[in-house]
Amino acid sequence: MKKLGLASITLLVSGLVFASLGYDDEARANGPELAENEFGILKTAEGAEETFYACTACHSEMIVAQQGLTRQGWDEMLVWMVEEQGMYEIEEPDRTKILDYLSTHYNEDRPHFPR
């Protein structure tokens, strides 16, 4: 009788351990998944990440994608964001990266205009 008692306690304890392991596995399986497009509607390309994080702090990336500007136009847009809209000054090399990205993919020919 004494042996049986010990065995059932052991069973009970290992049962609890397995139960909690199972719970952990489930939590991991339901963890965050990578979004299909990490940068919203912005075209995935060099500079998209920097642009997305610098610009979506205040507004949707849609407002960016809807614009089509020359490089100089974008440069002035960034200055206006800082001077009039309270955007922080973007440090180099990110500012150049963002300008390259915007003037390549969101220039006046608007190849990625959202529709």
Determine, following the binding rule CB under 6 A, whether residue 57 of this chain makes contact with ligand HEC.
yes
Site for ligand HEC contains 92 (CB under 6 A): no
Q: Residue 59 interacts with ligand HEC (CB under 6 A)?
A: yes
106 by Cβ neighbours in 10 Å (0-12 / 13-18 / 19+) ranks as buried
Least distance from C-beta 72 to ligand HEC, angstroms?
14
* 105's tokens: 């993919």
Q: Is 71 in the site for ligand HEC (CB under 6 A)?
A: no
CA 8 to chain centroid:
50
Q: Where are the alpha helices (DSSP H) in the chain?
A: 2-29, 48-55, 62-65, 71-85, 94-105
Only one of the segments 3-11, 15-23, 30-38, 75-83 lies at the binding site for ligand HEC (rule: CB under 6 A); that segment is 75-83
Residues making contact with ligand HEC (CB under 6 A): 54-55, 57-59, 63-64, 67, 77-78, 81, 85-87, 98
